[in-house]
Structure 1
Amino acid sequence: MSKLPFDPIDEARRQWTAHGWNDAAPGMAAVTSIVRAHQILMARVEESLRPHDLTFARYELLTLLSFTKTGSLPLSRIGARLQVHAASVTNAVDRCEQRGLVRRVPHPTDRRTTLAEITDSGRELVSKATESLNREVFSTLGIGGADIETLNGVLKQFREAHGDY
């Protein structure tokens, strides 16, 4: 895809204003910018995870499990922590289980609950994938330290205002 010689979101905002939608123009520009930033970031994340044969959803699952004291969590708690639907958790666990990165184990005290438990292979892979993401994405956003903290604060405020947590 070739680069445009202008910012298309600035142009859309100009058009919004020209059509009399002045009050909505800043919000439209913000939403469009966030959506575009998401596309850019996900492309970078996917590129970084590709050599590890991981999707971001599976990476998040492995990371979450690796951060727990026992290396395991009930499937229902995984969904809540990752803020995804139970079907997404099942799919990610299935795929990781097929690769030997996690295993399903019975809960030691609740027969109705199944745990997803990270394996040594899963720990090794998530460690390597994290190194890649830290180097290729998280540490190279193109936004300076103070600005990134401001952005984090603004996005946290947005998420809280919309009941994200």
Structure 2
Amino acid sequence: MHPPLAKDPIAEIQKNWERHGWETAAAPAAAVTAIMRTQQILLGRAQEILKPFELTFARYEVISLLSFSREKRMPMNKASKLLQVHPTSITNAVDRLESAGLMERQPHESDRRAVLLVLTAKGKQVAGEATRALNEQLFEQTGFTPEEVAELNRILAKFRQRAGDFEA
């Protein structure tokens, strides 16, 4: 982590936009940039927490999804849809998780074209430990107040719905 800057660079972005005559885009440009910077900060924290488990956040999401499923398994295409990632991305994550012994690919019982992702005993353990670490070190200590979290969830859900991320 680097020392804090003397000025907010995103506020400077907004001022620059305004100085160049893009007043109507200035505040939205600052908001988009702030969201992206916030994502970088939070993802960096998550990656640090997950490092001892030899997981990236993307791989954690896969084993976490499976750990929350009733049978600790799910068709790969369903996991891809629920995680909202391209099938190539989930294939890469599954390759790494399988190599680490955290999950296995198995043939689907009734659909020969489908592949089931199955969490191993080691995967269940790592998912539980990693989730506890993320809860304690990040999710319960985001730097946002509970009220800000509620407002952010409300605002971002409305945006994602309007963007076609999910139906009402």
Normalising by structure 2, report the TM-score: 0.95
Aligned pairs (5 A) from 1:150-165: 150-165=151-166
For residues 156 and 134 of structure 2, the distance between their equivalents in structure 1, rounded to whole angstroms, comes to 21
Q: CA deviation at 1:6?
A: 1.1
Q: Aligned pair count?
A: 165
What is the alpha-carbon root mean square deviation over aligned residues?
0.9
For residues 10 and 111 of structure 2, the distance between their equivalents in structure 1, rounded to whole angstroms, comes to 52
SS in 2 for 1:28: helix
Q: Gapped runs of 5+ residues in structure 2?
A: none
SS in 1 for 2:157: helix
Q: Which amino acid aligns with 1:150?
A: E
Aligned pairs (5 A) from 1:1-165: 1-165=2-166
For residues 20 and 112 of structure 2, the distance between their equivalents in structure 1, rounded to whole angstroms, comes to 61
Runs (4+) of structure 1 exceeding 4 A deviation are none
For residues 147 and 38 of structure 1, the distance between their equivalents in structure 2, rounded to whole angstroms, comes to 16
- 13-22 vs 131-140, greater mean Cα deviation: 13-22
Normalising by structure 1, report the TM-score: 0.97
SS in 2 for 1:23: helix
SS in 1 for 2:106: strand
For residues 41 and 114 of structure 2, the distance between their equivalents in structure 1, rounded to whole angstroms, comes to 38
Q: Which amino acid aligns with 2:24?
A: D
Q: CA deviation at 1:2?
A: 3.4
Q: Gapped runs of 5+ residues in structure 1?
A: none
Percent identity over the alignment? 44
